[in-house]
Structure 1
Amino acid sequence: MESLQFYLFFTVIILFSLTVHEYSHGRVAYILGDNTAKRLGRLTFNPIKHLDFFGVICFYFLGFGWAKPVPVNGRNFENPHRDMMYVAAAGPASNLILALIFGFLVRVTPPEQNLFLFAMLCYALYINVALAIFNLLPIFPLDGASVLKGLVSPKMAAKLAVFDHYTGFVLLGIFLLDYFAQTGIILGILRLPMGFMVEFFTQEAFPYVKQIIRFL
């Protein structure tokens, strides 16, 4: 029964975190002048509108995943080069805010009194840290690619965009290698920054968190 409760809670946290991530993209785009997400019904907290089945499944097997990207029309922005960066950064930023909240809850929840709740909060924290850091990788179609383009000149951004035709396939290939060959490439790259962020959010509770989250 506890195992069933765990997977139900894990699924709810994944859907909630992905929904907040995508909603944040759409909300910032709307604030900056693009109503595409709102017009298409994506400016909502309804997880069904944002669900990508394969992305959710990857969370269970690889520890990382994604939702259906919110559509954005950069031509509606006053400064597309800058504003696309803000829209892209909004998703990971929302997950870091959630991680901060869950980290606080971890710190005030004694594991010896309610181990199950403590473990669920640890996984909620881990999921949001994973979402934030994974999506900040500067590889298209992840958010980090748009953030990087916004930090450089438009001319340099155009040169970087040439690689967008290939990096998606590279990322997919790494996912497949991780799944079928157990290479652990993505987790190997992100384990250090994820461990640092989880420790930052949990402080004195981090030793207990490490006993729950074996990936750290």
Structure 2
Amino acid sequence: MNALIQTIAIAALPVIFAITLHEAAHGYAARHFGDPTAWQLGRISLNPLRHIDPIGTIVIPVAILLFSAGSFLFGYAKPVPVDFTRLRNPKRDMLWVAAAGPAANLLMACFWALMFKLSWAVPEFFSVPLARMAEYGIIINCVLMVLNLLPLPPLDGGRIAVSLLPHRLAWQFSRIEPWGFPILLVLLFTGILGDILNPLVLFSAQIITTIFGLY
């Protein structure tokens, strides 16, 4: 039990910021391209409390840590509201707003890689927890980056696909969105999602650790 508590304590910070900064990035990008909805609602913030969803940000990740040691960490925050019709060029700018979330996760994975490298230079009593926290930070951000790039609306990859497809195909493809989250849950609980994501997540993490010379 002590080991589980330590794991939750070490993983909490990387998980919360990976999820919440992902959403904040969408809000920043939307405002940049002309939609102030998230800004007007106070959702363009680095304060995790503005983005935390009790179930998606806390209960689900903790349950996975407690009961599914072999599974990847999964969670979500309250989606940042984006009114795509208010973007200056809705179809084109949708791509950049959607891509901002995974891009934020990529930057955070690189940040945690630097923290892992820093752990080599600090006293041992601090280096071990910092290294473990950095490992969680790299993996959870790679998970969220790869997961959200899946071409399934309403995931970011689905919105990117809608932006890139011709108008007629984009409209037809976007009709999947109401079923996107149920489909994702079915894939998660049947293990199919893990089979799809795990190789991609490990590949992404290996690239980052290689670039930063961690292993």
Select 2:208's aligned residue among 201, 210, 214: 201
Q: Which residue of 2 aligns with 1:153?
A: 166
Alpha carbons 1:22, 1:69 under 8 Å: kept: yes
Alpha carbons 1:26, 1:43 under 8 Å: kept: yes
Q: 1:47-93 CA distances to partner (integer Å, 9 max, x unpaired)?
A: 12111222123323151111111001112111100111111110010
**2:151 counterpart of 1:138:** yes
Instruction: Report the AA paired with residue 214 of structure 2.
Output: A
Q: Measure, in 2, the Cα distance between the counterparts of 1:202 and 1:185.
A: 26
Superposed, which structure 2 residues align to 1:1-216 within 5 Å?
3-56=4-57, 57-60=59-62, 61=64, 63-110=73-120, 113=124, 114-175=127-188, 178=189, 183-203=190-210, 204-206=213-215
Q: 1:166-204 CA distances to partner (integer Å, 9 max, x unpaired)?
A: 2322122233xx2xxxx4222211111111111111125
Q: 3-state SS of the aligned residue for 2:77?
A: coil
Alpha carbons 1:104, 1:201 under 8 Å: kept: no
Q: Which residue of 1 aligns with 2:68?
A: none
Identify unmatched segments of 5+ residues in structure 1: 207-216
Q: Measure, in 2, the Cα distance between the counterparts of 1:167 and 1:118.
A: 36
* Superposition deviation, residue 29 in structure 1: 0.4
What fraction of aligned residue pairs are identical, expressed as a percent? 34
Q: Measure, in 1, the Cα distance between the counterparts of 2:187 and 2:60.
A: 12
Alpha carbons 2:23, 2:51 under 8 Å: kept: yes
Across the two proteins, how many residue pairs are aligned to each other?
200
Q: Measure, in 1, the Cα distance between the counterparts of 2:114 and 2:14.
A: 16
Q: Measure, in 2, the Cα distance between the counterparts of 1:165 and 1:16.
A: 27
Q: Measure, in 2, the Cα distance between the counterparts of 1:78 and 1:194.
A: 34
Q: Which residue of 2 aligns with 1:211?
A: none
Alpha carbons 1:64, 1:134 under 8 Å: kept: no
* Superposition deviation, residue 46 in structure 1: 1.6
Q: Which moved more, 1:102-111 or 1:119-128?
A: 102-111
* Superposition deviation, residue 164 in structure 1: 1.8
What is the TM-score with the length of structure 1 in the denominator? Answer: 0.84
Q: Which moved more, 1:31-40 or 1:105-114?
A: 105-114
Alignment RMSD: 2.0
Q: Measure, in 1, the Cα distance between the counterparts of 2:192 and 2:117.
A: 31
Q: Measure, in 2, the Cα distance between the counterparts of 1:198 and 1:106.
A: 13
Q: Measure, in 1, the Cα distance between the counterparts of 2:129 and 2:47.
A: 27
Q: Measure, in 2, the Cα distance between the counterparts of 1:108 and 1:42.
A: 32
* Superposition deviation, residue 150 in structure 1: 1.1
Instruction: Report the AA paired with residue 103 of structure 1.
Output: A
Instruction: Report the AA paired with residue 7 of structure 1.
Output: I
Instruction: Report the AA paired with residue 147 of structure 2.
Output: F
